[in-house]
Amino acid sequence: MPSQKVLEEKQKIVNDLADRIQGSVAGVIVSYEGITVADDTKLRKDLREAGVKYTVVKNTLIKRAAEKAGLNGVEEVLNGTSAIATSDEDYVAAARILQKFADGHKTFAVKTGYLDNEVISLEKIQSLAKLPSREVLLANVLGAFQAPIASFARAVQAIVDKSGEDVPAAEPAEAEAPAEA
C-alpha cells in the first residue's frame, strides 16, 4: 500500500494535469516508445518553442486527470507508454509537430487528441497537422487584404505615369492683344 505522501503527490499531479487540460485549447496523447534521447530532446525543444507543454505521465494519472477535466473517450488508448502535449493558444502546434515526428519514427505514434475539451479522431489530428502555422495563416490573410489596395495603388500610379507622357508641356500664355476701340 502506497504511503500517504506518495498518494498526495499523485493527487497533485492529477489536479495539475486536469487544470492543464481544462486550460488548453488542444492536446495530443502519444506513444513515445522506442525513441532515442537525442530525438526526444529535439522533439521537446520544438514543442517548447511552439508553446506546447509535453509531459510523460502514467496512464492511470492521465485517465484520472481526463475524467476530472471532463474529457471522455481517452481511456481506450491509454496503454503502453504515454505522453501528453497541451497547447494553451495554438490549436494546431501540438498536432503538427507530433504528427511530423511520428511520420519519421516507426515506434512513435499519435494515439488521440482533443480540441476544446472534445476528443477528436486520428484523421482530424492528421488534418490539423497539415494546416500551416498561425503566423503563416495570418500572413496569408494579411496578403489577401493588401492585394486589392496594392492593385488600386498600381492602377493610380499607371494613370499618373500615362498622363505625364501624353500631356504636352504647358506653353506660356500669350499676351492678350488690346481690344480695338
Model-level pTM?
A: 0.70
3-state secondary structure 45-74: HHHHHCCEEEEECCHHHHHHHHHHHCCCCC
| Residue type for position 122 | L
Report the pLDDT value the prediction gives residue 175, as an integer from 0 to 100: 53
Residue with cell 494579411: 142
CA 142/CA 144 separation, integer angstroms: 5
CA 22/CA 86 separation, integer angstroms: 10
Report the pLDDT value the prediction gives residue 87, as an integer from 0 to 100: 92
Cβ contact 73:111 at 8 Å:
no
Which pLDDT tens digits describe the chain residue by residue (181 residues)?
A: 678 898 899 999 999 999 999 999 999 999 988 889 999 999 999 999 999 999 999 999 999 999 998 888 888 888 888 999 999 988 888 999 999 999 888 889 999 999 888 888 888 888 878 876 667 777 877 777 777 887 778 888 888 888 765 545 555 555 555 555 5
Contacts of 64 (CB under 8 A, 6+ apart): 14, 18
Report the pLDDT value the prediction gives residue 167, as an integer from 0 to 100: 47
